[in-house]
Each structure stands twice: as structure tokens, then as C-alpha cells.
Amino acid sequence: MPNPYSMELRERAVAAYETGEGSYAVVAQRFSLSSRTLVRWVARGRDLGSIAPFDKAGGWRSPVDLEVLHAVVRDKADGTTEELTRAYNGRVPAAHRVHRSSFLRALRRCGYVFKKNARGPQKPTARTSARSAGRFSGGSPR
């Protein structure tokens, strides 16, 4: 959610509308606002006596049970996120099972470091051409 507009801007825009400097559309354009935003501010000022922004609220709470998460990590500390998610989903009721990405976000929030995959390190990069490729001095190539 973006940050709310400053109180100074809110006060100036509402005062401009209420002193009759123009319609909602004219005043909103002058202050680079949506006319609907100005309508809400004016209505809030009349209804509540304040045009201050509401506190940020809502959002979505993670369904991951942190106690179970800590127990799974403690029991299977070297597991990949897929293995840990499978173990977690085996311990919770079916209605509370989560996807690997949700479990991964919960691990990160709790400060855990995790393995990216079960294959281990990738092969080191190797040369794609022979060492002498840049020093070819005539004759036929190999």
C-alpha cells in the first residue's frame, strides 16, 4: 500500500474547495489529485472532523504455524525447502497446508538460511574454446 498524501496537501486542497476556488475537478487538477480523492477528503472532513489518513490496516496473515515450522526445521535442519514443506504439511491439518513459496517466505521472516536445491553445487564453468584459438597463425585448423 502506498504512503498517504501529506497533511499539508490535504489541508490546502480541502480549504481551496471549501472556499469556492472551483469544482472538485478544477481543484483536484490544480493539486494534481484525482477528483475522487478530493471528494473523499472533503466528506471525511465533514463527517469525522478530520482529514487525516486512516492507519494502515488489513493485509493477509501467513497461514504458517511458527511453532510447527521451528519443530520441522529442528528435526530436518539440512532439508531443502521442498522437503521441509512436505514435512510441515504432514504435521498440520489438511486445511492448513501451504505451498512451498509460503513456507519459504515464513522461513525468511524467521531468519533461517536454506538450501536452494538438493543437487548440490553446479559444475564449474569450463572453457568453450581451445586455449590457442586466438593465436591461430595460418595453416589448417585442428
Give me the long-range contacts of 54-59 (CB less than 8 A, separation at least 24). Answer: 56/1
In the chain, where are the structural domains located?
7-48, 66-109
**Predicted local distance difference test score (pLDDT) of residue 124:** 52
What confidence score (pLDDT) does residue 33 get? 95
**Spatial distance between the Cα atoms of 16 and 4, rounded to a whole number of angstroms:** 19
Say if CB 67 and CB 27 are below 8 A apart.
Answer: no
**pTM for the structure as a whole:** 0.46
Q: Provide block-wise average pLDDT over 10 residues at a time, the chain (142 residues).
A: 89 96 96 96 95 84 89 88 92 92 90 65 52 57 56
Give residue 64's pLDDT.
92
Q: According to the model, what pLDDT value does residue 27 have?
A: 96
Look up residue 117 and give its amino acid: N
